[in-house]
Every structure is written in structure tokens, then in C-alpha cells.
């Protein structure tokens, strides 16, 4: 799959290069014949070398997996796991269909590894297990490490939201990693199953669950709650707060732009290969363009809902803020229109992963244990 991913990128570069070369040599006519032969040979060797290097890299990863240490060579570091997550975001549905070892699936993460959701394993990993669980669900191409985001390398990484909520509220933070290239519905169903298994295997009786999702993670959380209600699962009744951090409920403007750009590129032979490349985007990325589906996505009525919106400029009326929002998600898409709304500015999409003002709001919101008010009849 490493070779395939590199091939996807190399193919449009090679085809665009060849189209430009054909046009230039066609204008020069037969006089350029010898030069063209040399050019074609060198170009073929160059792109062949790129694909060959990718093939060797792919074989190395496959050899590592064959030794019974899947993803160890990449997943052993924050950067390496980020590469795996990025490949999942781009090609995750294909990875899953091929049962590729790089498919992240849906898992609970602890101490840098997947943690089986069994009572013995959970008790060993969480000796001070609380009855109050907080699940943190990252966004497209992100891992559990994303919650330690820092805007500047000159600033040390502070404790993430989960660590701080454990100290301030006595909650147990649980970090989820998943294949963000799969469809929203598939991941929502998998998250529903994971939470249900957590309740069954948790070392102490669970009295309360809170959910925090960044970007795509907020959509997965929202749909997982709807899945749980439809299935008659027990866990949605325990959810008190759902927090959406920059989640594109009405679709992500950047994802829609990719669709529009693909259409424009496909109209010209010189850029058609790039349109094909953009069309290879995963089901997860495609779903971000549309946001949550109109059916089966009702907000959980037994929980309080909180939206956090970031904008690039200090003024909500500034054209940049109104047009771009947090750069990836427009403000109107990130605002669900009910419950609490917090605006962070100036800030971008990834600032929401670890921001002092966001944490202050999280602490205040999750400190409230009262059920939500009943809607008026």
C-alpha cells in the first residue's frame, strides 16, 4: 500500500509531464526527434525509479508485518503513526477493503498501543478507573497524539484536555484512534460498538460518559449516538455532554472545493490526470463535503451539546472569517445552532485541539452534571 500511495501521486505528475513534452516536441517537429528519444528514456527511467523505491518501501513494511509486528516500523513514534493516519485518511476505505495491515480500524489507545477492550486489560491499564468516562475522538488523518498540538515549536507541549480533565474532574480520559478514510457511517457504527464494549468491560460501573470530537471526530460522535439510540444500546443514556470542536456538520468547505477543482481539472487533457488523483480521495473525505446526512443524525436529546468555532480573524464580520472560518471549516457549518457556542479567534482549525480557552470551557461544561432542559411542548 505504500507503493500504491506513491504511485497515485507519481501517475499524474508523469502524465502531465508527458503531455507537456508531447506539445513542445510536436511544435519543434522532426528536428527534435533525437532529443525526444533521449528525453523519453530518461523520463521513463526516473519515474520507474520512483515507483521502484516505493515498491521496496512497501515490501519492507510488508516484511515487518510478516514478522508479527504490524505497523511497528511506522507506529512506534508520533511522526510514524502520523504517517499511518494520513495514509488512512487518504486511502482508508481501500486499506479496509484489502484487509491491509495499515488499516487502523477502530481502537482504544493507551501507552502507545491498541488496548483490548477486556476487563482484565482495562483494569491493568486504568488502576484508578473512574465511573466518569471522557472519550476523545480525533479528526481526519489524526491520532491520539493530535491532542497535544502546539502552534509553535518554541512552546512546550502542555497537558492535553484528557489529562487536565482527569485532574480537575476526576474523569478517566479514553483516547480513540480510527481509520478516518472509511465512511462516517462505518466509523460511527464501529464507535458505537466500542463504547458498548467499554461499558461491558469497564472495571467499575459506569455512571456517566462525555464525548469530545475534533472536526470529523465530532461527526462520528454525533452519528454514533444516533446509531446507539436506533439499536437500543444502553450507553447513549449515560451521555451527559457532547462537544464538537470545529466539526463540519453542514460539510467542510475545503472538501467541497476539492470536488469543484476536480471537475475543472478533468475538463482539460493537460490536467485530467490530477483530476483522477483528486477523485481517489477516500470515502471519509468525500463524506466531509456533505457533512452529516439529513436522516439518522438527530442530536442526542438526553445530552447537552456544545459547539466550538474558530475563525482566522478577530472580527466575525471580517470577510476572511465569513468566507474561510477556521481555514478548513466555515463557522456556519461548525455551529449546530443549539446548545452552547464558543468562538475562538484569531485561531485556526488545529488550534482547537489544545487551546486554553477551549479547555476552560470544557472544564466548565463537563463540571455541570444536570440533565439538559426539556424542550418546550
Count of CA atoms in the C-beta half-sphere (13 A) of 40: 10
Of 65 and 298, more confident: 298
pLDDT score at 268: 57
pLDDT score at 210: 98
Record the pTM: 0.79
pLDDT per residue as tens digits for the range 261-274: 445 545 555 444 43
Give, for 136, the enclosing helix (H) or strand (E): strand 132-137
309 CB burial (10 A radius; 0-12, 13-18, 19+): buried
Residue 322 has pLDDT above 90, yes or no: no
Of 72 and 217, more confident: 217
Which of 74, 42, 35 is closest to 58 using CA atoms?
Answer: 74
Mean per-residue pLDDT, 141-162: 86
pLDDT-based confidence at residue 37 (cuts at 50, 70, 90): low
pLDDT per residue as tens digits for the range 326-344: 988 999 999 999 999 999 9
Residue 68 DSSP label: T
272 CB burial (10 A radius; 0-12, 13-18, 19+): middle
* Average pLDDT across the chain, whole number: 80
Of 15 and 343, more confident: 343
Mean per-residue pLDDT, 105-126: 97
Look up the CATH architecture of domain 87-367.
3-Layer(aba) Sandwich (3.40)
Amino acid at each position: 500500500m505504500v507503493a500504491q500511495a506513491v504511485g497515485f501521486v507519481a501517475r499524474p505528475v508523469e502524465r502531465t509531464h508527458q503531455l507537456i513534452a508531447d506539445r513542445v516536441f510536436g511544435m519543434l517537429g522532426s528536428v527534435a526527434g533525437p532529443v525526444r528519444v533521449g528525453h523519453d528514456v530518461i523520463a521513463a527511467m526516473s519515474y520507474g525509479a520512483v515507483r521502484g523505491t516505493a515498491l521496496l518501501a512497501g515490501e519492507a513494511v510488508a516484511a515487518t508485518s510478516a514478522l508479527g509486528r504490524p505497523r511497528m516500523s511506522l507506529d512506534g513514534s508520533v511522526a510514524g503513526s502520523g504517517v499511518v493516519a494520513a495514509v488512512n485518511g487518504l486511502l482508508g476505505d481501500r486499506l479496509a477493503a484489502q484487509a491491509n495491515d495499515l488499516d487502523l480500524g477502530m481502537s482504544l489507545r493507551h501507552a502507545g498501543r491498541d488496548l483490548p477492550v477486556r476487563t482484565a486489560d482495562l483494569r491493568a491499564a486504568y488502576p484508578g478507573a473512574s465511573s466518569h468516562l471522557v472519550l476523545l475522538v480525533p479528526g481526519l488523518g489524526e491520532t491520539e497524539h493530535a491532542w497535544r498540538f502546539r502552534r509553535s515549536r518554541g512552546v512546550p507541549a502542555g497537558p492535553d484536555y484528557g489529562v487536565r480533565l482527569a485532574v480537575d474532574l476526576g474523569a478517566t480520559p479514553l483516547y480513540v484512534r480510527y481509520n478516518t478514510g472509511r465512511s462516517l457511517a462505518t466509523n460511527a457504527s464501529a464507535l458505537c460498538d466500542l463504547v458498548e464494549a467499554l461499558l461491558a468491560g469497564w472495571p467499575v460501573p459506569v455512571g456517566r460518559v462525555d464525548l469530545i470530537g475534533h472536526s470529523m471526530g465530532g461527526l462520528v460522535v454525533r452519528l454514533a449516538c444516533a446509531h446507539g439510540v436506533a439499536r437500543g444500546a444502553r450507553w447513549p443514556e449515560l451521555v451527559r455532554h457532547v462537544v464538537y470542536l470545529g466539526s463540519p456538520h453542514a460539510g467542510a468547505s475545503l472538501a467541497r472545493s476539492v470536488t469543484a477543482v476536480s471537475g475543472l481539472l478533468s475538463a482539460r487533457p493537460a490536467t485530467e490526470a490530477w483530476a483522477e488523483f483528486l477523485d481517489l480521495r477516500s470515502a471519509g473525505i468525500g463524506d466531509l463535503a456533505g457533512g452529516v446526512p439529513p436522516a439518522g443524525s438527530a442530536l442526542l436529546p438526553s445530552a447537552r451539546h456544545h459547539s466550538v468555532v474558530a475563525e482566522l480573524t478577530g472580527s466575525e464580520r471580517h470577510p476572511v472569517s465569513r468566507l474561510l472560518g477556521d481555514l478548513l471549516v466555515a463557522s456556519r457549518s461548525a455551529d449546530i445552532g443549539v446548545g452552547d457556542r464558543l468562538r475562538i479567534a484569531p485561531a485556526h482549525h488545529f488550534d482547537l485541539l489544545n487551546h486554553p480557552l477551549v479547555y476552560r470551557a470544557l472544564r466548565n461544561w463537563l463540571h455541570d452534571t444536570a440533565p439538559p432542559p426539556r424542550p418546550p411542548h
